[in-house]
Amino acid sequence: MNNWKRICVLTEIPQLGSRVVKSTEHGDIAIFRTATDEVFALHDQCPHKQGPLSQGIVHGKQVTCPLHSWKIELESGNAVAPDIGCTKPFTVKLEGGDVFLALT
């Protein structure tokens, strides 16, 4: 069962940017906001060389890593081909303008 944790209001996350949530159990989690106000959450580590995805730029439903420009799918955490790798995704939801993160 999901243990929902309220993180912030949506507007506290910059559009096309992110906000980092520190978790002792899961490490840093980056919560991204797209241009259309969807939210996604990934472990804040690129599958290439652990670059901070939270400092990348969101485009569509992907984020480009700031270090070597791998593109990571926000929904799955998978690197976009030809690159191969995966970052752990987390479940988030928007409710009444607030962002909630599921920590199981």
Q: Which residues are near ligand FES by CB under 6 A?
A: 46, 48-49, 51, 65, 67-70
CA distance 45 to 88: 9
Q: How far apart are the C-alpha atoms of 32 and 14, rounded to whole Å?
A: 8
For the CB of residue 43, give the shortest distance to ligand FES in the complex, in Å: 13
Q: What's the min distance (Å) between Cβ of 63 and ligand FES?
A: 10
CB of 15 to ligand FES, least distance (A): 22
Nearer to ligand FES, 48 or 102 (CB): 48
CB 48 within 8 A of CB 68: yes
